[in-house]
Amino acid sequence: MQLKVKLLAITLSVGFLTSFVHRAFAQEYNPIPYAVPSLQIAPDARGGGMGDIGVATMPDMYSHYWNAAKYPFVTTNGGLAISYTPWLSKLVNDIYLMNVTGFWKFGQDNLNAISASLRYFSLGEVDIFDQNTDYVMAVSPNELAFDVAYSRKLSETFSGAVTMRYIRADYSTGSDETTPGNAFAADISGYNESYLRLGRSEALLGLGFNISNIGTKISYDGNNTAMFLPANLRIGASLGLPLDNKNTLSFSADINKLLVPTPKLPVEGETEADKQKRIDDYLNTSPIAGIFKSFGDAPGGFKEEMQEVMWSLGAEYTYNNQFSLRTGYYHENEYKGNRRYMSFGAGFRVSAFQIDAAYLISTAQSNPLDQTLRLSLGFDIDGLRQLMR
C-alpha cells in the first residue's frame, strides 16, 4: 500500500523504526522509536541554516520552536513568521511542512510574552487499493500541532517559559485498523543572556535549555497500542562577537537527547512468551517513567547512551543587522539514525520583514534528507506600523 511506503520513508528519515526487530540492518543498529516524527523537524530556515540550532541563539521571531523563553529578549514588540519546507524531496514530491508562528510582548516594561504556533505536516495524497489492486479511495495523511506559550523575564538576564501543545496525527485509511491519534504535551524552557568582556569589546553570551513534548502517548489504532511522543532535552550555548559597529560573528552549539526509553533487543534463545513480555513491558511504560528510564536503559550501557546524544555546531555572520550568512553541521550516531549533514543559509532583513533560506547537504551516504530546502518569511509588527504611518 502506497501509504505504508510513505510512512516508512518518514519514519526512516528521522531515525527510528516502528518495528521491534532492530537488528535487521546491523547488530548494533538500535534507533529509538517514537510517534509524530514531524515534531522533530525544525521549521525555520535560520536555525536550519546553522545545522538545526536554536535553543540559545540570538532571540528572533522563530524562537517559539527552539526556546519560547527567548521572546522577552526580542527587541521588537511582536512578530509573525511563516515557514515552508519540502520534505524528502529526493523520494517524493508532495510531502511538506508548513509552520506559522506569532508572538506579542506585553505588560510593564514588556517583561511578558505570549506566542503561538501552528504546524501542518502533509504526506500528500495517497491512493488506497484493496487486495485485488482495485482502487478504493484517496486519503491525505497528515500531522498537526498547535502550541501556545507564555514566557516571562524573571531577572535582568534570565527568562523562563511554559508551552502547551495539542497534537493530532491522522493516518486513516478508511478502515477500522487506523484511527486519528490525539495527544497533549508541554515544554519547559529557560534562557539566559549576558555580556562578556573580550578585549575591547563585549560579547553576547546566550545559554538555553528546552525540555519538550512532555505529555501523553498517542495511538493510531483505537488505543490498542500507544507510542511515545518525541520528548527531548535540548541544551545549548551561543557567543556573539562584534567585529566592529556593523559586523558580527556568532558561534553556537546544541546538544540533544531523546527522553524516550530504548527498547530491549532480542536475545538468543528468546521464547515467544519472553518476546511478548519484552514488548508489553515497553508499551506499558508510562511517559513520565519513560523520561527517567531514558537516561540509563540502553542495552549497550553507557557507550550506547552516549550514542543517543545528537549534537550540532553553527556559525552566523551578520552585516549591519540586515544581511546574514550561515553554516552548520548536525551529527547523529550511525547506529541511532545516521542523520549527518552540513547546512548553509542566508537571510535578509529590513525594518518590516525578513526572509531566510537554508539548504542541507548530507555527509552520510543514501540520506533521504539530502538537498532539503527551507524558506522562512517574517514580519515585524513595529516595522509594519512605521510603514503605515
202-258 pLDDT, tens digit each = 899 999 999 999 999 998 877 788 899 999 999 999 999 999 889 999 999 999 999
357-379 pLDDT, tens digit each = 999 998 887 667 778 899 999 99
The pLDDT score that the predictor gives to residue 300 is 84
User: Model pTM greater than 0.85?
Assistant: yes
Distance CA 52, CA 347 (A): 15
CB-CB contact of 287 with 231 (8 Å): yes
The pLDDT score that the predictor gives to residue 21 is 34
In the DSSP assignment, the letter for residue 244 is S
- Which residue type is seen at 87? W
Grid cell digits, residue 281? 513491558
In the DSSP assignment, the letter for residue 307 is H
Distance CA 61, CA 166 (A): 21
> How far is residue 278 CA from its own chain's centroid?
29
The pLDDT score that the predictor gives to residue 179 is 83
1-19 pLDDT, tens digit each = 444 444 444 443 444 333 3
In the DSSP assignment, the letter for residue 82 is E
Provide the residue ranges of all domains of the chain, joining segments of one domain with +. Answer: 2-388
Helix (H, G, I), strand (E, B) or coil at 76: coil
Grid cell digits, residue 121? 505536516
Least confident of 113-117, 236-240, 337-341: 337-341
287: pLDDT confidence band, cut at 50, 70 and 90?
very high
24: pLDDT confidence band, cut at 50, 70 and 90?
very low
The pLDDT score that the predictor gives to residue 99 is 96
3-state helix, strand, coil split of the chain in percent (to 5) is: 15, 45, 40
172-190 pLDDT, tens digit each = 766 667 788 999 999 999 9
CA–CA distance from 27 to each of 120, 259, 268 (Å)?
A: 36, 23, 12
Position 23 pLDDT exceeds 70? no
CB-CB contact of 297 with 262 (8 Å): yes
Strand 142-153 relative to strand 112-122: parallel, antiparallel, unpaired?
Answer: antiparallel
126-177 pLDDT, tens digit each = 777 667 666 667 778 899 999 999 999 999 999 999 999 999 998 876 666 7
How much of the chain exceeds pLDDT 90, in percent? 57
Least confident of 100-104, 184-188, 338-342: 338-342
The pLDDT score that the predictor gives to residue 28 is 65
What is the CATH architecture of 2-388?
Beta Barrel (2.40)
Closest CA to 324 of 270, 252, 258, 247: 247
Grid cell digits, residue 157? 538576564
The pLDDT score that the predictor gives to residue 311 is 96
Query: How many Cβ atoms sit within 10 Å of the Cβ of residue 365?
Result: 8
